[in-house]
């Protein structure tokens, strides 16, 4: 992946638009700009600037004071620019660097037929561009002439840039902007079905089980891909359904004869029956664990499922405390208030039950097994047993693995079941050492999104757990 396709396409199209605009400017500059015209315009602009310096004094006589920018220009470049202001008789009112001004720029006759005059003339230093304008001020007529033999102050460029901005960039910019917007919009719109399909694919997996990706409105090239994916998903979904149906059938097929068997044994008297009953009980447990393990593989958790880990932990401790006491161990719960996670209370309770059974089996006689609900969405079970060595932790999550094979305890399915249930929730199972000795197994599940507050904590449905409610007495009892 190299980032969003929409972003990449939009960036490239915007860049192309910019380059085309620049090329357009270049072409216009070199082929269509009338440089001679621009030069004359430049000179004419200076004449206009000079006219602003004309005034009539308090004595009624005409006066000329060149504007600052203009006089600075004349001072700085005596070889390049010249200005002359004359009255109708031809007498100069103001003259600076006049040597540059070609004679043809100063009309001999009183300009009766001419209002302005401009042009170019050959000179020793090159081509001189000039402009003369007839200005009427009250009853007087004046002639203002500006000439340029060269352009060291780059006046022409300024005029060119003004022209460029005024006649090229300004008209072009809205079109370029509009084009860019249309490009981005088109790209987004065309790729919207693809984005939708990707989002649907992302949503899958965790919560919804397998659903086909939306193929409507996709371009042919992408539709082929999506359709191929969908047909693979369909096969997967039917395999999952098949697996679930098989699990349900298997549960029925296995548990019914076991029920018959244990029912018959319960009604019998005689020697050796106790051990037979224990065998059937162990067999029943194994069957239950294998079924749970198969169910955990195909477990899906609805996205809107909410449950309170603290409640799950407290109810589990209440339920399992009698068993722990019979085994000569203690069971305790620690937690501060509800921990609302996205998940299924029954499945999480099943996972935690496996962890507690495991811990009780390994905890030393008389010690305490602690179930704790932590605010980050973690339900941990800690014991004071021998612990699980780091090298065996990964193995402990594989099915049928047992630390002490042959001790007749457990089938090696408890931790793997808990692990699968955690993963079906988008969480994980972690095995660690407990401080002071023993193992601490933590089940982490994502917290429920904060915008959906803790409204639907599972109602207490188990009669035997009553309102084994929260950790009101976590600190006090003991």
Partner 1 sequence: MRVLLVEDTPALADITSAGLRASGFVVDHVATRAEAAAHVAADAPDVIVLDLGLPDGDGSELIASLRREGRRTPILVVTARGGLNDRIEGLDGGADDYVVKPVAPAEIAARCRALLRRPAALLDTMLTAGDVTLDTAARAAQAAGRPLSLGRRDIAVLEVLLRRAGAVAPRALIEDAVYALEEAPGPNALEAAMSRIRKALQGAGSCVTIHTVRGVGYLLDEGGR
Q: Is 245 exposed, middle or buried (0-12, 13-18, 19+ CB in 10 A)?
A: exposed
Give whichever of 200 and 294 is closer to partner 1, judged by the CB atom: 294
Give whichever of 111 and 321 is closer to partner 1, judged by the CB atom: 321
CA diameter of the chain: 151
Q: Phi and psi (nearest 5°) for 435?
A: -60, 130
Contacts of 173 (CB under 8 A, 6+ apart): none
* Minimum separation from the CB atom of position 424 to partner 1 (A): 9
Q: Is 205 exposed, middle or buried (0-12, 13-18, 19+ CB in 10 A)?
A: exposed
Q: Is 253 exposed, middle or buried (0-12, 13-18, 19+ CB in 10 A)?
A: exposed
Give whichever of 69 and 281 is closer to partner 1, judged by the CB atom: 281
Give whichever of 308 and 334 is closer to partner 1, judged by the CB atom: 334
* Minimum separation from the CB atom of position 206 to partner 1 (A): 15
CA torsion 93→97→99→101, rounded to 10°?
A: -70
Spatial distance between the Cα atoms of 33 and 25, rounded to a whole number of angstroms = 10
Give whichever of 133 and 425 is closer to partner 1, judged by the CB atom: 425
Give whichever of 405 and 467 is closer to partner 1, judged by the CB atom: 467
* Minimum separation from the CB atom of position 242 to partner 1 (A): 16
* Minimum separation from the CB atom of position 246 to partner 1 (A): 13
* Minimum separation from the CB atom of position 240 to partner 1 (A): 15
Q: Phi and psi (nearest 5°) for 347?
A: -65, -40
Q: Is 82 exposed, middle or buried (0-12, 13-18, 19+ CB in 10 A)?
A: buried
Q: Is-contact 148 80, C-beta < 8 A?
A: yes
* Minimum separation from the CB atom of position 187 to partner 1 (A): 44
The token pair at 453 is 């507050």
- Nearest one of 133, 16, 126 to 84, comparing CA atoms: 133
Q: Is-contact 386 350, C-beta < 8 A?
A: no
* Minimum separation from the CB atom of position 3 to partner 1 (A): 39
Give whichever of 41 and 383 is closer to partner 1, judged by the CB atom: 383
Give whichever of 109 and 476 is closer to partner 1, judged by the CB atom: 476
* Minimum separation from the CB atom of position 335 to partner 1 (A): 7
Question: Which positions touch partner 1 (CB under 8 A)?
Answer: 247-248, 251-252, 254-256, 258-264, 266-267, 284, 288, 291-292, 295-296, 299, 314, 317-319, 321-322, 325-326, 330-335, 344, 346-347, 350, 368, 421, 461, 463-478
């Amino acid at each position: 992946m190299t980032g969003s396709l929409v972003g990449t396409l939009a960036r490239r199209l915007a860049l192309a638009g910019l380059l085309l605009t620049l090329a357009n400017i270049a072409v216009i500059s070199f082929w269509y700009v009338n440089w001679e015209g621009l030069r004359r315009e430049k000179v004419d602009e200076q004449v206009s600037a000079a006219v602003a310096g004309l005034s009539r004094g308090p004595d009624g006589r005409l006066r000329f004071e060149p504007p600052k920018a203009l006089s600075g220009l004349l001072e700085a470049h005596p070889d390049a620019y010249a200005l002359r202001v004359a009255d109708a008789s031809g007498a100069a009112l103001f003259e600076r660097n006049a040597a540059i001004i070609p004679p043809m720029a100063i009309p001999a006759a009183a300009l009766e037929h001419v209002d302005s005059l401009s042009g170019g003339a050959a000179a020793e230093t090159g081509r001189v561009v000039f402009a003369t304008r007839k200005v009427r001020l009250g009853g007087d007529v004046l002639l203002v002439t500006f000439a340029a033999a060269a352009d060291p102050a780059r006046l022409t460029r300024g005029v060119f840039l003004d022209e460029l901005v005024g006649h090229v960039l300004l008209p072009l910019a809205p079109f370029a902007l509009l084009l860019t917007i249309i490009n981005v919009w088109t790209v987004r719109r065309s790729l919207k079905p693809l984005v939708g399909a990707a989002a649907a694919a992302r949503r899958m997996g965790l919560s919804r089980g397998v659903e086909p990706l939306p193929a409507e409105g996709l371009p042919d090239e992408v539709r082929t891909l999506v359709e191929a994916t969908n047909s693979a998903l369909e096969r997967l979904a039917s395999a999952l359904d098949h697996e679930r149906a098989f699990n349900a059938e298997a549960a029925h097929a296995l548990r019914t004869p076991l029920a018959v068997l244990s029912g018959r044994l319960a009604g019998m008297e005689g020697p050796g029956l106790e051990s037979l009953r224990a065998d059937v009980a162990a067999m029943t447990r194994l069957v239950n664990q294998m079924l749970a393990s198969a169910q955990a593989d195909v477990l899906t958790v609805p996205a809107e499922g909410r449950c309170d880990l603290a409640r799950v932990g407290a109810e589990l401790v209440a339920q399992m405390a009698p068993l722990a006491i019979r085994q000569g161990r203690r069971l305790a719960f620690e937690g501060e208030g509800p921990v609302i996670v996205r998940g299924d209370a029954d499945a999480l309770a099943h996972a935690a039950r496996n962890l507690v059974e495991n811990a009780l089996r390994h905890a030393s006689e008389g010690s305490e097994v602690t179930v704790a609900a932590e605010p980050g969405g973690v339900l941990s079970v800690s014991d004071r047993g021998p612990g699980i060595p780091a090298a065996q932790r990964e193995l402990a999550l594989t099915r049928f693995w047992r630390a002490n094979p042959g001790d007749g305890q457990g089938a090696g399915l408890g931790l793997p079941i808990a692990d699968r249930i955690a993963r079906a929730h988008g969480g994980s199972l972690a095995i660690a050492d407990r401080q002071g000795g023993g193992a601490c197994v933590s089940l982490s599940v994502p917290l429920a999104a904060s915008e959906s507050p803790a409204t639907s904590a599972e109602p207490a449905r188990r009669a035997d757990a009553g309102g084994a409610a929260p950790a009101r007495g976590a600190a006090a009892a003991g």
